[in-house]
A = this chain, B = another copy of it.
Amino acid sequence: MSKLKTERCIESLLAVFQRYAGRDGDDCKLSKREFVAFMNTELAAFTKNQDPGVVDRMMKKLDLNSDGQLDFQEFLNLIGGIAVACHNSLVLNTQSR
Contact = CB atoms under 8 A, between A and B. Distances in A.
A28 interface: yes
Contact of A86 (B1, B14, B94): B14
A6 B91 contact: no
Determine how many copies of this chain the complex contains. 2
Given A4-B41, A83-B76, A12 B9 contact: yes
B90 A14 contact: yes
Contact of A87 (B1, B14, B42, B87): B14
A13 B17 contact: no
Contacts of A83: 10, 13-14, 72, 76
19 contacts: A4-B42, A4-B44, A5-B12, A5-B15, A5-B16, A6-B16, A6-B79, A7-B42, A7-B43, A7-B45, A9-B9, A9-B12, A9-B13, A9-B79, A10-B83, A28-B91, A73-B80, A76-B83, A80-B80
